Amino acid sequence: MKNEMTMVEVDIWHPAQQQQMFRSLLDAFSYPGRIQTCSQQAEPSLALLAALLDGQTTLSDPQDMLEESIWPKLEAQRVPSELAAFVLLDGSHAPEFVPSLGTLEEPEGGATLLLRVASLHDDDSAVLRMRLSGPGIREAVSISVDGLHQDWIDARNDWVSSFPLGVELVLCDAKNFVALPRTTRIEIGGAA
């Protein structure tokens, strides 16, 4: 994992590339369930962090997925996972903490969790199948994921159960990513 994450980082620190990365992520948030392909020569999880973070925000990396040398470039403040605005996680391990969910008055305090998974599919071919509906989804869609512990989805469904509180998930494989904002209804089991 560490080797992959530091392999090529070519341009992910350049503002023009970060703008492009942000627009892909904007599409991902606007149309949950649509799998986006990362245009950068880097892991999407790292390219997304580079595009979003600076010294004004907080990051947690409880499984030490990032090289130490990446931290100064991201500029983000390192805080415990329970408090972080962004948390980078290995999706194959079950959740071990409750992230920030925001408050009724300030729901934007809910965290964004970037979960590294093995692979994302826009069909039913992978192990964990999910049927998605809600804002941004015209007709319910199904995606499937390898390398995501199902407890993440169960826990997430619990964390988003009292809207407007909740968390945003961004699932990332080696090339692609997909966003699951708190408004997305996720049913495990795929196409019914």
Interface with other proteins in residues 126-145 (CB under 8 A): 134-138
Cα separation, 173 vs 114, whole angstroms:
10
- Does the protein bind other proteins through residue 92 (CB under 8 A)? no
Q: Which amino acid is at 38?
A: C
Which window, 39-47, 92-100, 105-113, 143-151, contacts other proteins (CB under 8 A)?
Answer: 105-113
Helix extents (H) in the chain: 2-6, 15-30, 44-52, 70-74, 150-159
Contacting other proteins (CB under 8 A), which of 91, 95, 147, 181? 181
Which window, 3-11, 23-31, 39-47, 141-149, contacts other proteins (CB under 8 A)?
Answer: 23-31
CA angle 90, 127, 170 (to 5 degrees): 40
Given the complex with other proteins, which of 126 and 153 has the nearer CB atom?
A: 153
Q: How many CB atoms lie within 10 A of CB 111?
A: 24
Give the residue from 77, 81, 157, 73 showing the smallest Cα distance to 113. 81
Cβ of residue 36: shortest distance to other proteins, in angstroms?
13
- Does the protein bind other proteins through residue 63 (CB under 8 A)? no
Cβ of residue 125: shortest distance to other proteins, in angstroms?
25
SS3 annotation, 44-69: HHHHHHHHHCCCCCEEECCCCCCCCC
* 3 state SS of 18: helix
- Does the protein bind other proteins through residue 64 (CB under 8 A)? no
Contacting other proteins (CB under 8 A), which of 9, 11, 12, 25? 25
For the four alpha carbons of 182, 111, 116 and 27, in that order, the dihedral sign comes to: positive
Cβ of residue 67: shortest distance to other proteins, in angstroms?
21
Contacting other proteins (CB under 8 A), which of 60, 112, 144, 176? 112
Binding site for other proteins (CB under 8 A): 14-16, 18-20, 22-23, 25-26, 29-31, 51-57, 85, 103-108, 110, 112, 134-138, 163-164, 166, 168, 181-183
